[in-house]
Amino acid sequence: MNKILLTTVLTCAAPMAFADTNTSDVLTNYANIAEAKFQDSLTTAQALHVAVDALIADPSETNLQAAKAAWLAARVPYQQTEVYRFGNAIVDDWEGKVNAWPLDEGLIDYVDASYGGPTDENEFAALNVIANTAFTLSGEDIDASVITPEFLEGQLHEADGVEANVATGYHAIEFLLWGQDLNGHGTGAGNRPWTDYAVGADCTNDNCDRRGEYLSAATQLLVSDLDWMAAQWGEGGAARASVLEDDAAGVSAMLTGMGSLSYGEVAGERMRLGVMLNDPEEEHSCFADNTHNDHYYDGLGVQNVYLGAYTRIDGTIVSGASLADLVAGADAGLDAEMRTKLSTTMRELGDIKHAAEAGFAYDQMLEAGNAAGEDLIMGGVNAFIDQTRSIERIVAALGVEGIAIEGSDSLDDPSAVFQ
Amino acid sequence: MKLALALILAPAFAAADPRVEAALDDDILPGFAALTQATQALADAQTCDVADAWNTAAAAWVAVSHLRFGPSEADNRAFALAFWPDPRGATPSALTALLGEDAPPIADASIAGRGFYAMEFLLFDPAFAGEAGRCDLIAGLADDANASAQAIENEWQNHYGDLMRETGNGTYRDDTEALQELYKSLTTGLDFTTAMRLGRPLGTFDRPRATRAEMRRSGRSLANVSVSLASLQSLAVILGGDSLSADIQARFKVADDQIEAIANLDGGPDLSIVSTPAGRIKVEALQQRIAEIRVFLAETLGPDLGVIEGFNAMDGD
């Protein structure tokens, strides 16, 4: 399927010579920021792992809340890495393991009766592997008696070729910590009791040991996946080498990531669709009710890649030559336009975040007929769409000359729809 | 002084690009007018036995479905007319909600319960055949679709067409940006057919997914490919002009021939032939022909128009 589809990439006509900015400095800074973001994601995932182990070893309300807090903190740097998707094949090929969404959570654990059973699209939508030590997949008997990272990654994830069978990554862990959000359009996130991890007679909803085993395996996997990706952006890493190999292709990767994340992914798939479907399940972090932050930090990632400066989780700043400098050298007016639009987007996303944090939950914003909620979300959508137009102008201004066939995962790659 | 002179003279030179003019007058505006008419006929029907009128209207939609910008994006009108694909089965549950006691007004309802794809469930899926309120909901959805179609056409006629003709505005800074929008809709339309209309039912060799074909309940799956290609060809020929039109037509003809070859087979119209190896090969061949058109346009028409590829709504995952 993928082979026969035409894939196209933005190709900047080489050589791109700009008076005061060296393109390779811009790309080096882009790679440095990626490395810092993935390292920060790793650090916060390691903290999550510690918190999860504490919950399993010593189950309590306090330890459950601590693990949730660690998960929320881990999302802050990770969401800012998403702008490295789409343009960098190495990130795209890997991303489904850590941030796949939406998921049919009944694959993993018990769900409410209103969830339903297997669907036309997914036979395993209600498998509940925590309660089942064996099942049959495409005629093959699967042994699920021990839940290991290898089992999750190799057999359960995307079982039967269905993308909604998400067995690994942030959102699987989110479900294991919060549980289903059964509040519909009302306030409140998922409300899993800490006793779902209790030992012996205190255990609720059965199989607490296997639930703990799953949570631990999924968190281990997240840590090892992030460790791998951080290394790809370090000195001598493949992702860094790929970006630095060719100035034009490197700048193209930057712009492709910014535009695709802004438009097709966040504005389209994640934000607008939710409003139009009025479905509280169409929330990026629907268990934790953290969707306002998901969007906000995605937007921030686009902005900090353009401006070439990222503030790390310890407050230090990674900065250097930026795409903004490059654009300003070619067309100062266009640079000003881009900066203004990025700021506008952040203000709109900030409005959503502030309202959500003050008690107007993202679920409520999605409700049919909730005009204020729709206006808030559509404000973010429109700002993302508007900034994408300026990104396209930058592509033109930096001297895009045509297209290259046989690109990697990239702009306008129709197969991306299946990822 | 020079600047002032240029400003005074500018309007005299502000003729629209002839390709944009032709695309609007010969293709886009007639296409949306046909959609308004077809949905009007559907809304005017006095019975709920409207399969024929629905078919005509669905085809009119598919013919303009690639023009997903401006008027069809405003107020989510295109989504309200057409929500597909639906990997999480939102349409049947949205319809169940609309048939229930606390149904919201249709205009406020989930897009999954509105438009041509939702109507197809009501008209052709046995699960809804005996539902109380089915006829009223069909009529309500037809009115809703007609209102969306009218709103799109009005905006094209009264506002958006001028933005594309008289560029130098906030939406299109110059003619190249208007041409790029048209080129992008063309390539997006081809990509959508390749990846969605054909790619979804094809699935993988080991696991074809016939039930994921577009509008399979009414058997329109292959017809939609045909209608869409005809419309895309028309736009491509306008944009390609004399130098490219013969080549463009020849390539679309090859794809049309492949459609013909599938249409007469058992399981061709709803693409369920993807389930057999022999049938699958034919559908893959069609997909390949369309991918070749896409490559050809990217190699020739894009550079000819001087446009970049740009971003589209399918960039997400």
pLDDT value at residue A20: 59
| pLDDT tens sequence across B143-173 | 999 999 999 999 999 999 999 999 999 899 9
Residue A406 in this model has a pLDDT that exceeds 90: no
pLDDT value at residue B313: 64
The range of the structural domain enclosing residue A64 comes to: 8-103+166-407
Residues from chain A contacting residue B211 (CB–CB below 8 Å): 120
pLDDT value at residue A233: 98
Instruction: Assess B109–A contact: CB distance below 8 Å, yes or no.
Output: yes
Residues from chain A contacting residue B288 (CB–CB below 8 Å): 4
d(CA B199, CA B260): 19
Contacts of B216 (CB under 8 A, 6+ apart): B201, B210, B270, B271, B272
| pLDDT tens sequence across A209-238 | 999 999 999 999 999 999 999 999 999 999
Residue A2 in this model has a pLDDT that exceeds 80: no
Number of domains in chain A: 1
d(CA B259, CA B285): 10
pLDDT band at B317 (very low <50, low <70, confident <90, very high): low
Residues from chain A contacting residue B303 (CB–CB below 8 Å): 402
**Residue A21: φ, ψ to 5°:** -120, 130
Nearest chain A CA: its distance from B297 CA (Å)? 11
Question: Cβ(A30)–Cβ(A250) under 8 Å?
Answer: yes
Is the complex ipTM more than 0.90?
Answer: no
Partner residue facing A6 (CB), from B76, B188, B294? B294
Residues from chain B contacting residue A86 (CB–CB below 8 Å): 315
Q: Mean pLDDT, to the nearest integer, of A91-104?
A: 94
Partner residue facing B191 (CB), from A265, A396, A412? A412
pLDDT band at A255 (very low <50, low <70, confident <90, very high): very high
Nearest chain A CA: its distance from B193 CA (Å)? 10
Instruction: Assess B111–A contact: CB distance below 8 Å, yes or no.
Output: yes
Does the residue A412 lie in any domain? no
C-beta atoms surrounding A153 within 10 Å: 18
Does the residue A203 lie in any domain? yes
Question: Cβ(B228)–Cβ(B197) under 8 Å?
Answer: yes
Q: What is the fold of B17-164?
A: A middle domain of Talin 1 (1.20.1420)
Contacts of B25 (CB under 8 A, 6+ apart): none
Nearest chain A CA: its distance from B36 CA (Å)? 22
Better pLDDT: A399 or B271: B271
Instruction: Assess B14–A contact: CB distance below 8 Å, yes or no.
Output: no
Residues from chain A contacting residue B187 (CB–CB below 8 Å): 412
For chain B, the average pLDDT equals: 92
Partner residue facing B308 (CB), from A164, A276, A400? A400
Instruction: Assess B2–A contact: CB distance below 8 Å, yes or no.
Output: no
Question: Cβ(A157)–Cβ(A146) under 8 Å?
Answer: no
Q: Which residue of A has its CA nearest to B308?
A: A402
The percent of residues in chain A predicted with pLDDT above 90, rounded, is 74
Helices and strands, counts by H and E, chain B? 15, 0
CATH of the domain at A48: 1.20.1420.20
Nearest chain B CA: its distance from A387 CA (Å)? 11
Partner residue facing A1 (CB), from B187, B202, B308? B202
Mutate to test the interface with A, among B205, B206, B311 (most CBs of A within 10 A): B311
Q: Which residue of A has its CA nearest to B296?
A: A6
Instruction: Assess B313–A contact: CB distance below 8 Å, yes or no.
Output: yes
> Using the beta-carbon criterion (under 8 Å), do B316 and A393 form an inter-chain contact?
no
> Using the beta-carbon criterion (under 8 Å), do B309 and A161 form an inter-chain contact?
no
> Using the beta-carbon criterion (under 8 Å), do A120 and B211 form an inter-chain contact?
yes
Partner residue facing A412 (CB), from B94, B202, B312? B312
Question: Cβ(A45)–Cβ(A67) under 8 Å?
Answer: no
Does the residue A149 lie in any domain? no
Between positions 129 and 148 of B, the ones with CB within 8 A of A are none
pLDDT value at residue A188: 83
Domain map of chain B by residue range?
Answer: 17-164, 174-307
Instruction: Assess B185–A contact: CB distance below 8 Å, yes or no.
Output: no
Residues B174, B176, B177, CA angle at the centre, nearest 5°?
70
Q: Mean pLDDT, to the nearest integer, of B98-109?
A: 87
> Using the beta-carbon criterion (under 8 Å), do A405 and B298 form an inter-chain contact?
yes
Residue B13 in this model has a pLDDT that exceeds 70: no
pLDDT band at A301 (very low <50, low <70, confident <90, very high): very high
Does the residue A419 lie in any domain? no
